[in-house]
Structure 1
Amino acid sequence: MQVNETLNEGLKRGYAIKLTAAELDAKVNEKLAEAQPDVEMKGFRKGKVPLALLKKQFGQRVMGEAMQESIDGAMNEHFEKTGDRPAMQPEVKMTNEDWKEGDDVEVSMTYEALPEIPEVDLSKIKLEKLVVKADDAAIDEALANLAENAQDFKSRKKGAKAKDGDQVVMDFVGKVDGEAFEGGAAEDYPLVLGSNSFIPGFEEQLVGVKAGEEKTVTVNFPENYQAEHLKGKEATFDCTIKDVKEPVAAEINDELATKFGAEDLDALKKQIAKRLEAEYAGASRAVMKRGLLDELDKMVSFDLPPSLVEAEAGQIAHQLWHEDNPDVQGHDHPEIETTDEHKKLAERRVRLGLLLAEIGQKAEVQVSDAEMTQAIMNQARQYPGQERQFFEFVQQNQQMQQQLRAPLFEDKVVDHIAEQAKVDEKEISKDELQKAVEALDDE
């Protein structure tokens, strides 16, 4: 087997591989000899079929396998010998397309090698960790929001008219063609106007009613209404208004706390403080991660495989185009051209991606099965009712598994680097942290 270099330009590599006819024939004979003990043929005992007869019968079929195995073996031996790691799958093709049995097999192999990644002294990296404490003002604000969401209703003054957002308590009877229909009546029913919980057009007609008033509401059931006998039908509802109530925020007390699963108000405040500080810590980590990546980007410089940069730039351009055109869900759109800005961002991403992968490999960073399972479960929650199917889909899809594993691996490598780096804590306000997070999107 002959392997000769034909291209060595930057990270681009090219080789001509020649498998002589004699080597191929020897490989075919070797494979037939391996299979011979198990072959049965009329007129011969099992394992006693002559090699020449086997070759005549099965030689053509075995030759393709022998050719592929020989080329694969030559490629693997080449990569072991040179230490090259292809950035993407090597392109392999026969160069003597008019090949016939008895000829040498000539193959070209081209690829882009991954570059040598320089060593980085992680202890020289300086990072700033922003720390925000959950102060009383933030806790009170969160409590007020909880109270707003847990709103109550209290009766308006006698004679007050119902407004959008008010709760109207009423009895009603629904009729179609003058006849009451099943499920169309209720007593003391509390309906919040503007909640869109009734048939379209119903709630709007109750704006302005007063307690003690009787009101007939006329609506049309939608054509896609679930009850077949009511689809598209006009209906009237005779409503007796019993009370008109305005929304009021729930009182911030122990009773409110129990609604949210806490023993009392103090326990709820502690829960809120813990949740807020967890949110602040997550935001702070995102800011520190950007700072860490910026530092790494300044510290290293090496050649990048053009194919990886082009692929990443295309992906960035495609993603940004869809963000600018949210109405286009599929990929039936004009070809998207990459700009210098896309390529510059792609170079940064590829450089940092290769560097983090190298650091993680040397540090033996691993994503555990438990971490992967948790990531899949988190993703599956986006598909209510189909969690099991999603889980099984991911288990059978290597590409999807890689998409979920990659960010987990990157975060663990970032944590490993942060442990080696010099980290100074800086206590700031919630507003300052918010500005720092917003600045991430501006860059």
Structure 2
Amino acid sequence: MDFFNLHLLSTYLKKWSYNDNKVTFNYSYCCEIGYDRSHVDMRLGSPVNMVNEFLNNVFHRAKEKINEQIEANPQDPNLQQSNGSNIILVNEPEVKRKLSVFFSKILKEFNNNKRSRGRSRIISTRSLDFYYNDFEYEPLSDEIKFYVHLNRGLNKMNGDLYSNAVDDLKNALAFKPEDPQANKNIAKALMKLGRFEEAVKHLEIYTQAEKSDVALHQLGLAFMKLGDLDRAEEIYKQIEKEFPDSLYGLFGRALINYKRGKGFKQKLDKIYKINPEWLAEHLRTEWSFNLPGYEEDEEAKWNAATAARYLGFNRPFDLTRKAFNNEIPSYFDSEKGTIRFVKAELDAWVELVNRYKLEPQNYETHEELLTEQEKQKAQRKRGRRPKKDQKNEAVEEQVA
């Protein structure tokens, strides 16, 4: 391979500082070795200088990644005959023109906002897709079209536009149905949308290509979301067998036991002794406090005022803010505009937050502040389990 063809796919204004006259751009590109995303910090200057500085950073990054691939694949004759310095920017004149226009608009808005002395701080020109026009996209090879759609999907995910991301990633998979990165990310977007059955199909493809504990863990979480605790347990037993040093096996089986109303803290304690920071991070981001049987049972749920009183919050608003940030277990009905809480899940949340120091302060519960009717709601037993898990024993008591 005499040279590498670098396709610049997109760039995005990530942040800016009026005091320092600095901006940060995320960018993505692809070439013969694959796809990459990075960023560059720059000082504002003339559009011509900004274009040159930006492209210099892109070329430097691409050269580093190419050389890494050359070193990692000594048996690949195409790579070994290559020189990471020989990089050609595809459609260079048009790329430079688009970047110059893009930077000029940002520079104009930046200077206008700075002169307004704080009245306007937003910059509306934020992103540039280099293959937005059909006449530029259509001549591309299928390989590059795949990266165009993959990149758009990842950009949408970064903006929490998961439904749009699924559409773009489906377009990418039309070119490469077995691609691990595309399947991994479409599964992540589908999980965010609550489309767990679809996510499982893509995660199974991903785990076949990516033989790792992390990939299997994501599949296990998806089965738990479907209520198939038996299948999830098989996945975590597989992790413990194939990756004996991984903490995901213990973590997943602890979560399954929690869902089944069985002892789970002993497993979490083992993780805590090995790596308390790892446990704290995964409890915050991946532990699901919601217990089977409560989601459809409105009679067992409290409103925000009751839950706030029980947990010692001064205002229900403080509680609901944490709930909307996924920091505390809750059930939100978007159609009715209501948010509800379950005592057993709140008790478990308080216990784990305090036990593993997930927050700076400890929490206490205040049953003495509840009315008799509120206490009776909290004593309701869970409804029926998901069908896939009905063969498990009935839960005798909730988490203390």
TM-score of the superposition, structure 1-length normalised?
A: 0.21
Which of the pair is proportionally richer in strand?
1
Query: Which protein is richer in helix relative to its size?
Result: 2
Higher relative contact order (CA 8 A, sep 6+): 1
Q: Rg larger in 1 or in 2?
A: 1
